Structure 1
Amino acid sequence: MRFTVRVPASTANLGPGFDTFGLSLALHDVVEFETAGSGVDIEVLDAGAGDMGRVPRTGRHLVVRALRAACSRLGTTPPGLRLRCHNAIPHSRGLGSSAAAIVTGIVAAYTLAERELDADALHLAADFEGHADNVAASLYGGFVVAWESGGRFHAERLTPHEAIRPVVAVPPTQSSTHQTRGLLPDEVPLADAVFTGGRTALAVHAMTSRPDLLLEATDDRLHQGYRRPAYPATMRLVDELRSRGVAAAVSGAGPTVLALPYGDTGGRGIIPPDVDVDGYDILEPAIDLDGVQVTEA
């Protein structure tokens, strides 16, 4: 059996929507699967190809671990596998590389079991990741609102406004989600909680209907300020862009910066020429509206 899983990158939080908002980006990892007699054989290409320590070529590979977990949940036995991983999503940059790998493995398990994706696929992916924002965006595409209720993860896909054209500034440095979460307090002031609630609600409206409100809608007091010590250069760029009227936020756990221009202006042109982005890769991925895709050979 041979098939290919194509999964988009994602950016999470979009400012105030911590662990809640996700946006799918047209930057894709593509994994070719082929069943084999036994064992696991993995070839990693492009992003991560030269990082043997961080990207294992064994059953410890995140795609394989997620696949095996899903197979166990589906009551099937995973076969031997050959994988060719064509990675375009930068690792540990806040663009959902781990979530994409988890989604890839779970979707592959469903494909091997000849099962249609269902709500359990989202819950399993989110449970594996620890939160649902990135995995929901990679699964469903578009703009997602995720939540947890009664021990189950859920997400609703919304269609983002067609004028929104994401831009990401990707630095050469990496970030650890575990480290940045460790900087967050257990409690926040009531005024900040109220501010966050209002901006989170406004962001749904801005993302779907009123992109002219994105600058205010992406303002955050809940998490970015507390994590500033982990990526001061990222926060300086976010602050400077916002001071120039550009809706900007930390992408996920960072250190990538997300900007959300809309209309005809986009790309490097939305970053004022006197703003220092030396060393950053400026990318303009479209919003992926389709989510994960499977092609069978």
Structure 2
Amino acid sequence: MATSARSRAVPLLVARRGARSARSFSSESSSSYSKLTTGFSSRISNVQESFFYPVDRVVVNVPATTANLGPGFDSFGFALDVWNRVIVQKSDRFEMVVEGEGEGRISLTEDNLVVQCVRKVLHSLGKEMPPLRFECQNAVPPTRGMGSSSAALVAGLAAGLALGGKDVTTPANKKLLLQLAANEEGHADNVAPAIYGGFQIAFNAEGHWITQRVHIPDGLQCVLFIPDDEMPTTEARAVLPAKIDRKDAIFNIARASMLINCFATSQFDPLRMAMEDRLHQQYRKHMFPFEPIIKDALEAGAHGAFLSGAGPTVLAITGGVGIANVGSDTMSQFLAEVVSDAMVSSAARLGVRGTAHIATPSYFGLHSNGYDRDGEQLW
């Protein structure tokens, strides 16, 4: 009976995490959080989840994300093929290990964001967090505008749901994960693609976070210039005005609409106009001189370029040549490297140190594997 139940269990998904330094949770009451964690359930899903074997170890992967895309402030974002991995395993004592990006500076204590997320979800499910060992393997640079904090939120929350017996692969529980993560973040432009992958448009409607996928043109590549210096999101948001001019709102509405049409119809050329912005980038240029880097990227052949998230990373769109398969020949990579060199040279003239990376969008969001005490894979 137990064996057949195990074989029929629907895969329990966990999250990945972009480990980041500790931060405080929102002030949402534990009772309202517990109510939200209940989510949508049915008799069948409750029965199925009752068959799940206890998870002893969870391996969670989550992608980097880029948000805003120019005019889509707090609304647009897509996943990048750059991943963080978190391994959570039951142990006889708490332990935190961080490797890669953030090593030596991310909190190794229980105030780490991933640990906080796991504890909060388990508490909302009426469970105490057992002693756990956390191993974070990070490729996403923290506080660079590539969604590291959103990755940490998604990873920790999803891991907590899985450890609490929730099947995070179902649409209902993925929606629940989105609600939890977006409520903590305050917007869903990064967490939505971290969960669902691809290009997502996200907004809040009557207390519910809604997201919908947009087509990404074949052959699109992303050239990222990642400065060595960080830009804390809180500081970047603090410089934004409380009100904007109507003409600036109209400017962004038109370009955001054109941007969606460009992606939906695989038009690359208009992106240089469609990725212009007047809601956030102009107010942040005194914090980091990104405008010359964008200009030089466009002159080198990029279709469009923008400040990724709150910055300071600058992302340029290239690709869409030949048969639009970046792995079919060297042309796409060659053109992306030309843009990369132009961005690095531009930054050097400005006295800005950093590195470049060429990535592709990820059509997949969080994925994970779970193992029992004997090391047998459960999903």
Name the larger-Rg structure.
Answer: 2
| 3-state SS in 2 of match to 1:167 | strand
Question: Which residue of 271, 276, 294 maps to 2:346?
Answer: 276
Structural mapping, 1:122-133, within 5 Å: 122-133=178-189
How much has 1:263 moved relative to structure 2?
Answer: 1.6
Seen in structure 2, the aligned counterparts of structure 1 residues 273 and 166 have a Cα distance that, compared at 3 Å, is closer
- From 47, 62, 69, the counterpart of 2:101: 47
The letter of the residue matching 1:256 is T
Residue in structure 2 matched with residue 67 of structure 1 by the alignment: 118
2: CA distance, partners of 1:100 / 1:170: 18
- Aligned pairs for 1:25-174 (under 5 A) are 25-37=80-92, 39-51=93-105, 55-117=106-168, 118=173, 119-174=175-230
- Report the secondary structure of 2:96's partner residue: strand
Long gaps (5+) in structure 2: 1-55, 322-331, 372-379
Instruction: Note if contact 2:201-2:213 (Cα within 8 Å) is conserved in structure 1.
Output: yes
Question: Is the 2:292–2:346 Cα contact (8 Å) retained in structure 1?
Answer: no
Runs of 4+ in 1 over 6 A off after TM superposition: none
CA distance in 1, matches of 2:140, 2:200: 19
Report the counterpart of residue 29 of structure 2 in structure 1. Answer: none
The one-letter amino acid paired with 1:190 is R
CA drift of 1:208 comes to 2.8
* Aligned counterparts of 1:71 and 1:156: Cα–Cα separation in 2: 28
Deviation per residue, 1:265-296 (Å, 9 max, x gap): 34222256595244331111221111011112
> TM-score when scaled to structure 2?
0.73
1:263 aligns with 2:320: yes
Contact residue 267 and residue 283 of structure 1 kept, 8 A:
no
Number of residues of Structure 1 aligned to a counterpart in Structure 2: 292
Q: What SS does the aligned partner of 2:132 have?
A: strand
Matched, 1:188 2:244: yes
Alpha-carbon distance between aligned partners in 2 of 1:154 and 1:62, rounded to the nearest angstrom: 24
Match of 2:275 among 210, 218, 223: 218
8 Å Cα contact 1:66/1:128 also seen in 2: no
| In structure 2, C-alpha distance between the alignment counterparts of 1:259 and 1:182, rounded to whole Å | 25
Instruction: Determine helix, strand or coil for the equivalent of 2:270.
Output: helix
Corresponding residue for 2:367? 293
Please tell me whether residue 229 in structure 1 is matched to residue 286 in structure 2.
Answer: yes
Matched AA of 1:276: S
What RMSD, in angstroms, separates the aligned Cα atoms of the two structures? 1.8
Counterpart residue type for residue 212 of structure 1:
D
Structure 2 residue matching 1:165: 3-state secondary structure: strand
CA distance in 1, matches of 2:240, 2:299: 25
Residues 95, 256 of structure 1: 8 Å contact kept: yes
Q: CA deviation at 1:244?
A: 5.5
Amino acid at match of 2:104: G
User: Who is 1:254 aligned against?
Assistant: 311
1:173 positional shift = 0.7
Shift of 1:192: 0.8
Q: Which amino acid in structure 2 is aligned with residue 151 of structure 1?
A: G
Q: Distance in 1 between matches of 2:338 and 2:300?
A: 13
Cα separation, 1, equivalents of 2:369 and 2:64: 18
Contact 1:267 1:282 (C-alpha < 8 Å) held by counterparts: no
Aligned residue for 2:58?
3
Give the corresponding residue for 1:19: 74
Q: Which piece of structure 1 moves more, 217-226 or 68-77?
A: 68-77
| Distance across 2 between alignment mates of 1:153 and 1:87 | 27
Q: Could you tell me how far apart the structure 2 residues matched to 1:110 and 1:213 are?
A: 42
